[in-house]
Structure 1
Amino acid sequence: MSASVLGLLTGLVLGIAGAFGGFGAFLIVAVLGALGWLAGRALEGKLDLSQLTGRDRR
């Protein structure tokens, strides 16, 4: 299982644990799932965040 998938699943589980039911809960789970996926991609090195931090990876 890749770090991206693991991050996505972690975000989804935390979102479900944090909020139950309703459209607001759906949005929370979707946002946390996307954040988990992005974190997993960054850990795998498949997402370059140097432009956001202003530092170059030389």
Structure 2
Amino acid sequence: MNGTIGAAAGAILALTWITLGFGAFLLVAVAMLIGAAAGRVADGRLDLRALTEAFRGGRSSS
């Protein structure tokens, strides 16, 4: 399933780059990353507090 989703995402990005150029490619890629992160947060597989703390240089929970 993940391979199929990855292939579809790659095809979308490639077609965007070919038809609309690099700027549109970057915009679509960033939108896909934000959407994936939002989905992980909604599923409970991504803890934003821990992620924010890691970027601030806080201690990890491990």
Normalization by structure 2: what TM-score? 0.50
Q: What CA deviation, in whole Å up to 9, does each residue of 1:18-46 have, x standing for no partner?
A: xx711000000000000000000000000
Tell me which residue corresponds to 2:46. 47
Tell me which residue corresponds to 1:37. 36
Select the structure that is richer in helix.
Answer: 2
Indicate the RMSD between aligned Cα atoms, in angstroms: 2.8
- Asked whether 1:23 is paired with 2:37, we answer no
Runs of 4+ in 1 over 6 A off after TM superposition: none
Alpha-carbon distance in structure 2 between the residues aligned to 1:50 and 1:23? 33
Structure 1: gaps of 5 or more residues? 54-58
Structure 2: gaps of 5 or more residues? 54-62
Normalization by structure 1: what TM-score? 0.53
The number of residue pairs the alignment matches comes to: 38
Q: AA paired with 1:50?
A: R
> Comparing both chains, which one has the higher relative contact order based on Cα–Cα distances under 8 Å and sequence gaps of 6 or more?
1
Matched residues, percent identical? 45
